[in-house]
Structure 1
């Protein structure tokens, strides 16, 4: 039975080795903050942190997770950078429908952990998740605010 570490806790999961991480998180562990969007790693709604890297979980088979530490939106505020990102998101009222926002927050957190004071070009390069509501300007503003916090 495979074992994975999610949000600082080890879980034994009884699923096929090729099951996408997204479905292990949502269906097996009940962590539904990570969303299904496109299923082909294009939209970013399923973004989680895998050893600190923004990772599109819909295309990561469980067998490739190994000993990686997975962090989902459910625990992001336990991380100092993640907490700052969430505070900026809420303060600037970034979400409209909110569907993509957990993935956006995860991508922003990964960016700020790698580049604490990103340029506008860094933000544009890292924030590639799709937002059907078009809140891209507020997303960039929130990343800048979190970086300044």
Structure 2
């Protein structure tokens, strides 16, 4: 289902795999995705057991159900088919082609029980880059636990 009032932008409100199956080859210039890594399924997503000052943070109260099912090979095949270029957050968790164009978001994380950085696989043939931005300094309200800051996408 396409949902939007702007004829120049199409927003699809459906599961991404069936949607991509209906799309043309190279329909998009760029796909930026952050698929589930499958850490919850492996019992590795332990942030919900936080203690001390972090125990009652809103992010610790959110469900991690979204992370139980990492995408299968078909997802990536379709993603590469419908997009000319890709940025895949968490690319280190998946079997992807070799690339030198990785992007690292150094979250300047002061807490040892959270990841210090996030890795993105990209299809760009460019040197690896590091973007530094503390999530605690963005002032943005998160609506999803894996939400990336706007400044990261502007970079």
TM-score w.r.t. the length of structure 1 is 0.24
| Bigger Rg, which one | 2
Greater share of residues in strand: 2
Higher relative contact order (CA 8 A, sep 6+): 1
Greater share of residues in helix: 1
TM-score w.r.t. the length of structure 2 is 0.24
